[in-house]
């Protein structure tokens, strides 16, 4: 399966953002030299040399990006079934794993539906931003993302003959390969509406404050899970996580260390999961509560809920550092499975683990996640004690 299986990287040849398989090394070196000299239109998608901003040069080289097989079809590729819940008490840790760089951005059978939704959300919510300090990093991000798509999915993202445009063969749209002269809103729009993933760009605080932290300088967050992204722009990691109980004690130091140490061409992934009883992908509020709010919440009755419209939500968060600007980026894909489908999919053992994981969220974090509202109802449905108000499985189409 062409999917996210965290594993050790193979590093081969340092020719650009992405390397090539070993058989192609010599040929590519020659082609790269030719291209650098002759074909300026292909500059960013073939032979760009990277500057190493941090760490020893020899250690981190461009990752191998292997094209998906010729018979790969996005419309036949099921969303990857991530099930990251664990038995017992929830421990707040970084929970980082190595990521196979080939799994950075996925094409799955949700593509066209989600892209149409993202076009609408981009215009309606305007949940995107780029501080002037991050324009260079945003342009590098654009080349990085579309460089990846052209290498990984050549049958769907094709560099046109003169190298000035990319043809998205799924949407049948063309767009520039080089963002050098583009306005930031246009760059953000093209990223937002060509991939299902949201993205964040963080730059080190130049004023070297108390924690010497990374600051969120640009983002596309069309699928927030319970926060308004506009309130997070130009904030430090600590300030962003202000509402998260236990962040200062359990995550702050390790997270700042992690972000400072990530190297270019090092790819890391983490997943988090949550449950929601509303039918929206874009949820700027309603998933979290303060302690005072949480104490006034009443549990939902499982027989009142349509579990086709309640969702198990997983975020696959991929982190790396861009080699030119040194920005830290996060690429986030949101997976949603209705509790109706999840129950049908889980084994009896997995159902037990999931109920144990719901019980394992404790104290202030349980209040923050509003577990009082959904916890018992979800467990009752998963265990088969209730079938909810609409027992017949029905696909929900997200409109927001
Ligand atoms: C190693 C990386 C990270 C870890 C371990 C982490 C951890 C967490 C945790 C445990 C939560 C609580 C959410 C929940 O479980 O419901 C959270 C929330 C959140 N995180 Fe992160 N996070 C990471 C990176 C980031 C980055 C890079 C950003 C943005 C720059 C970010 C933005 C947020 C936001 C906006 C929330 C919601 C806060 C709110 O309720 O207002 N996270 N994070």
Distance 211 CA to ligand 1 centre (A): 17
Is any ligand 1 atom within 6 A of the Cβ of residue 218?
no
Nearest to 3 by CA among 340, 366, 318: 318
Atom nearest to 96 CA in ligand 1: 1
Q: Is 329 in the pocket of ligand 1 (CB under 6 A)?
A: no
Ligand 1 within 6 A of 371 CB? no
Q: Which atom of ligand 1 is nearest to the CA of 216?
A: 30
317-320 own/partner pairs: CB under 8 Å, 24+ apart: 317/269, 317/270, 317/271, 317/272, 318/99, 318/103, 318/104, 318/267, 318/268, 318/269, 319/96, 319/262, 319/267, 319/268, 319/269, 319/270, 320/104, 320/262, 320/264, 320/265, 320/266, 320/267, 320/268
Distance in Å, CA 238 to ligand 1 centroid: 10
Separation of 82 CA from ligand 1 center, angstroms?
A: 18
Digits of tens for pLDDT over the chain (400 positions)?
334 433 332 222 223 456 544 444 444 444 444 443 334 334 335 433 334 344 444 466 888 899 999 999 999 999 999 999 999 999 999 999 999 999 999 999 999 999 999 999 999 999 999 999 999 999 999 999 999 999 999 999 999 999 999 999 999 999 999 999 999 999 999 999 999 999 999 999 776 555 579 999 999 999 999 999 999 999 999 999 999 999 999 999 999 999 999 999 999 999 999 999 999 999 999 788 888 888 888 999 999 999 999 999 999 999 999 999 999 999 999 999 999 999 999 999 999 999 999 999 999 999 999 999 999 999 999 999 999 999 999 999 999 9
The alpha carbon of 162 and the centre of ligand 1 are apart by a number of angstroms equal to 42
| Nearest in space to 355 (alpha carbons), one of 388, 338, 377, 370 | 377
What are the Cα distances from residue 58, in Å, to 6, 22, 51, 102, 263? 22, 18, 12, 21, 12
Ligand 1 centroid distance, CA of 241 (Å): 6
């Amino acid at each position: 399966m062409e999917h996210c299986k965290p594993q050790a990287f193979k590093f081969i040849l340092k020719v650009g953002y992405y390397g090539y398989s070993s058989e192609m090394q010599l040929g590519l070196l020659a082609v790269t030299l030719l291209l650098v000299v002759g074909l300026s239109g292909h500059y960013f998608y073939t032979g760009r040399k990277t500057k190493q901003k941090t760490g020893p040069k020899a250690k981190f080289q461009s990752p191998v990006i292997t094209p998906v097989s010729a018979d790969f079809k996005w419309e036949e590729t099921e969303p990857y079934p991530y099930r990251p819940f664990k038995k017992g008490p929830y421990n707040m840790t970084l929970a980082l794993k190595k990521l196979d760089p080939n799994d950075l951005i996925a094409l799955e059978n949700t593509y066209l539906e989600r892209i149409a939704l993202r076009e609408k959300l981009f215009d309606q919510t305007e949940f995107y931003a780029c501080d002037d300090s991050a324009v260079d990093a945003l342009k590098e991000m654009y080349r990085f993302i579309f460089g990846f798509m052209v290498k990984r999915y050549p049958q769907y993202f094709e560099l046109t003959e003169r190298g000035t445009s990319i043809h998205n063969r799924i949407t049948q749209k063309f767009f520039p390969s080089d963002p050098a002269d583009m306005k930031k809103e246009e760059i953000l729009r093209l990223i937002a509406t060509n991939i299902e993933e949201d993205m964040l760009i963080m730059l080190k605080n130049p004023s070297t404050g108390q924690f010497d932290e990374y600051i969120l300088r640009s983002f596309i967050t069309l699928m927030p899970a319970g926060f308004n992204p506009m309130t997070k722009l130009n904030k430090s990691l600590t300030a962003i996580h202000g509402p998260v109980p236990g962040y200062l004690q359990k995550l702050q130091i390790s997270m700042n260390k992690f972000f400072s140490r990530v190297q270019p061409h090092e790819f890391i992934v983490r997943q988090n999961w949550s449950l929601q009883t509303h039918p929206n992908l874009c949820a700027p509020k309603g998933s979290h509560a303060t302690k005072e709010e949480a104490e006034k919440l009443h549990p939902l009755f499982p027989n009142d809920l349509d579990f086709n419209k309640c969702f198990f939500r997983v975020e696959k968060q991929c982190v790396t550092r861009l080699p030119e600007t040194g920005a830290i980026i996060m690429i986030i894909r949101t997976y949603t499975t209705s509790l109706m489908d999840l129950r049908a999919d889980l084994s009896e053992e997995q159902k037990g683990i999931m109920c144990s994981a719901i019980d394992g969220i404790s104290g202030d974090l349980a209040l923050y996640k509003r577990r009082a509202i959904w916890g018992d109802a979800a467990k009752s449905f998963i265990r088969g004690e209730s079938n909810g108000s609409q027992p017949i499985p029905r696909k929900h189409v997200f409109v927001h």
